[in-house]
Amino acid sequence: MTDYGKIDYLDFDIGWPEAAAQDLAEITMMVRKLQPDVIIRGRGIGAYGDYYTPEREVPGGPSPGVWKVIYPCGEAFSYRPNDIYKPAEWILENLIGITAKGGNFEVGFGPMPNGRWPSETVERLEYVGNWLRVNGEAIYNTRPRKVFREGTNVWFTNSKTGDLVYA
């Protein structure tokens, strides 16, 4: 935390045993002292974290505080030969719905052992990227609305300033 300049983000990507709770609290407080602007994922550190990360589940509505859904696009978060990937539409629908509920969305993909990305993942991300080029204003820097959904396919977000509604 001292030899790398400003640290923006820290993720203890592990479920810690109960016996480590006191040590982990002390480590987290030390990190915050050395890097006061760092954002820390709450996994394994509970109240010491800055945001909640449900994995492999999408909340049915807005959740309190800051949150981000983490979901693999295939069976695993990393590369698996012959994996079955969810369709591009699934990524986009979840991105829109989670954003409308006030959350963020991280889709898990991993490169192959040779460092290249499977064509199935590239195709899915290009699909979502093409949609965001046209409609990204309704996703980036938006805020949730009290009424965030109408029917099955209409989701709402507010602009950061609150003067625009996106559907």
Question: Over the stretch 88-113, which tens digit does the pLDDT of each residue have?
Answer: 999 999 999 999 999 999 999 999 99
The rounded distance, in Å, linking the Cα atoms of 97 and 157 is 10
Tell me, what DSSP letter sits at residue 80?
Answer: -
Q: Reduced to 3 states, what is the DSSP secondary structure of residue 128? A: helix
Mean per-residue pLDDT over the chain, rounded: 93
pLDDT category at 17 given cuts 50, 70, 90 is confident
Tell me, what DSSP letter sits at residue 82?
Answer: T
pLDDT category at 46 given cuts 50, 70, 90 is confident
Residue 48 has pLDDT above 90, yes or no: no
- Residue 102 CB neighbour total at 10 angstroms: 20
The rounded distance, in Å, linking the Cα atoms of 156 and 56 is 23
Tell me, what DSSP letter sits at residue 60?
Answer: S
pLDDT category at 14 given cuts 50, 70, 90 is confident
**167 against 16, higher pLDDT:** 167
Identify whether the C-beta of residue 12 lies closer than 8 Å to the C-beta of residue 21. Answer: no
pLDDT in tens, 127-166: 999 999 999 999 999 999 999 999 999 999 999 999 999 9
Please give the average per-residue pLDDT across 61-67, as a whole number.
86
Q: Are strands 39-40 and 142-143 parallel, antiparallel or unpaired?
A: unpaired
